[in-house]
Structure 1
Amino acid sequence: MKSELNRLSGIDNVTFFDTPPASDAIGRSNVQFDTRPEHEQFMISIKAVDNQYVPMFKIPLLAGRNLNPSDTIREYLLNETAIKALGLKTIDDAIGKAATINGRRGTVVGVVKDFHFRSLRTAIEPLGMTTRGEAYGSCGLKINLSDMSSTIARLETEWTKIYPSYIFTYRFMDEDVERLYKLDNVLLRLIQAFAVVAIFVGCLGLYGLVSFMATQKTKEIGVRKVLGAKTSDVLWLFGKEFLQLLLIAFLLAAPLGWWFTNSWLNDFAYHIEPGVGIFVLAIIITVLVTFFTVGFRSVKASLANPIKTLRSE
């Protein structure tokens, strides 16, 4: 099938494998290395790939050579993490050594650079890659994007000729990567939606509270205006009370926010550490939103005619 696909125009490269490069659905097996005691074994992730897998996905080969397309000779490629797990001093020490993975003995012919073959929630694990004849579950194609629709149509026609009993389906690699973080993206959108609603409701409540306070302080504001108080003085009259409440709320919410953020980030093997800056930014934005809401109603109250307000009182 590979030769037929390679002949199609718009196809730059073809590779076969059991699982795509970015997938949590990957097999694991035990490995025994000939330089280690027979009883000393550890688990290793295993990928069945053909000899075009490494060049197709541009995986750097650090030592040795790529796999041969042979069906009879068992060969292995290991990643850097596997070399470290074996306790070897250099990656070159692994070349030519025998390894038994899942009961199949073969020769290590190359070492590849560590790459993420699962989601970033998981640290890079020891990995072994080997050929499996024709027993692959997926086909990877590098196609020319300038004529993508026509190329896919030709692929479907060729597939129907070779496998008339199987439905032709395809997906792009970025869709596989996106699927790994689908839950995180949904969670992020939910948090954003609830945050917007919470801010909107909070501003409405804040505006209502300021309006109530302005009504209660109508006489006080009128007296202050008669005595020469400026609009900024009236603004500070309301703002200082809310500033105290904001400070108390921040002292209560910041530790909880840090704990929640840290707990979520700890689900990822590779993550940033939440710093003080994000919380400083949060309190600044909160203060600005609060003072904008409070200021709008406070200015409105301060612009009222003090004579009318005192007369009504």
Structure 2
Amino acid sequence: MLKYIGGRLAAIIALAFGISVLVFLMIRLIPGDPVIALLGSQAGNAEMIERLRGQLGLNEPLIQQYLIWLGNVFQGDFGYSYGRQRPVLELLSINFGPTAQLTLAALILSVSFGLLLGAWAAVRRNRAPDTIGMGLALAFMSMPSFWLGLLLILLFAVTWPIFDVVGGTSFKGLVLPAVTLALGTIGFNARFVRSSLLAAQSQKHVLTARAKGLRRHVVFLRHVLRNSLLPILTVVGLQLGNLLSGTVVVETVFSRPGLGRLLVDAILSKDYLTIQAVVLVIALIYALVNFMVDLLYPVLDPRIARR
């Protein structure tokens, strides 16, 4: 087990290194100069441009720029945001909380309603509830988040002013963004839960339990649902990546503070250091959550721990 944990931690470190290199190179291939974007109306002064590029270290070779940035990251210094005029680490600490709040709320909605909808469809397979449930799941998956967000704003903030929208971080301001972010993954989770439950129902031990005369709900809870938890848990871990990436659109639509909106603003202003830091943090969160999911496998299925 310790060897497995060590291997996974090494893989996370390698992943973080690879992502840092890719992001560092890709953002510098995007057309545009961060110095010109920063100077604005004074971008016509060639001497000022050259001086500022030297101050920001953009005249150095790419390899040297990357090594300097990487060395600073190991010391806990993600650099200085020349677009926001604040340390990047401070920007991350300010915006992490709202994104974590939104992602957690959307994950709870996605898992709970996806599980209920998928189980409802699986128990009533090939009946009207199954058709309705899978139709709803397909509809949820097909809705673009930016369109759904605007529709919810129109309905529940303009037509019926029930919830807060612009920049809201209270509970009333959290509802619409969380629903917008969660609906697509609710549909995916519902379809996956249904497939997993149907596969578990056809197992021999389930048929044996039914033959012994156990009640239907006892068979479902003890034998069907329990044996479906591992694949469902895997999908939940993977869905976190979709939710984190979805915050970029949702936080922009609802003008909500967070890492997603910070990333969009940094891209528009060519703020290299902020982009690198946000992408690296999101990738590490995604990798660590899936690592924790892997550690839960032996808890749900002791047979895995004996391998």
Higher relative contact order (CA 8 A, sep 6+): 2
TM-score tier, shorter chain, comes to under 0.3
Q: TM-score, normalised by structure 1?
A: 0.24
Q: Which protein has the larger Cα radius of gyration, Structure 1 or Structure 2?
A: 1
Bigger fraction of residues in strand: 1
Bigger fraction of residues in helix: 2
Q: TM-score, normalised by structure 2?
A: 0.24
